[in-house]
Amino acid sequence: MEENKEQILVKHLLLKEETAWKELFGAYSGNLAYICSRYMTEKEDVHDVLQNSFIKMFRSIESFEYRGSGSLKAWMTRITVNESLKHIQQRADFKSTVEVDDLPDLPHEEEPDFEEIPQAVIMKMIRALPDGYRTVFNLYVFEKKSHKEIARLLGIAENSSASQFHRAKGLLVQKIKEFTMSKKAQYE
DSSP, res 62: G
Render pLDDT for 80-92 as a digit per residue (tens, 0 to 9): 999 999 998 887 6
How many Å apart are CA 70 and CA 168, to the nearest integer? 30
Render pLDDT for 112-171 as a digit per residue (tens, 0 to 9): 767 778 888 988 999 999 888 999 999 999 999 999 999 999 888 898 899 999 999 989
CA-closest candidate to residue 86, choices 146, 133, 39: 39
Percent of the chain with pLDDT over 90: 55
With beta carbons less than 8 A apart as the criterion, state whether 125 and 67 touch. no
pTM: 0.79
Domains of the chain by range and CATH?
5-89 (1.10.1740.10), 100-187 (1.10.10.10)
Looking at residue 54, its pLDDT comes to 96
Looking at residue 4, its pLDDT comes to 85
Looking at residue 95, its pLDDT comes to 61
Per-state percent for the chain, helix, strand, coil, to nearest 5: 70, 0, 30
Mean pLDDT of all residues belonging to the chain: 86
The yes-or-no verdict on residue 102 having pLDDT over 50 is no
The H or E element that residue 77 is part of is helix 71-89
The H or E element that residue 153 is part of is helix 147-154
Q: What would the mean pLDDT of 25-53 be, rounded to a whole number?
A: 94
Residue 108: band (very low, low, confident or very high) from pLDDT cuts 50, 70, 90: low
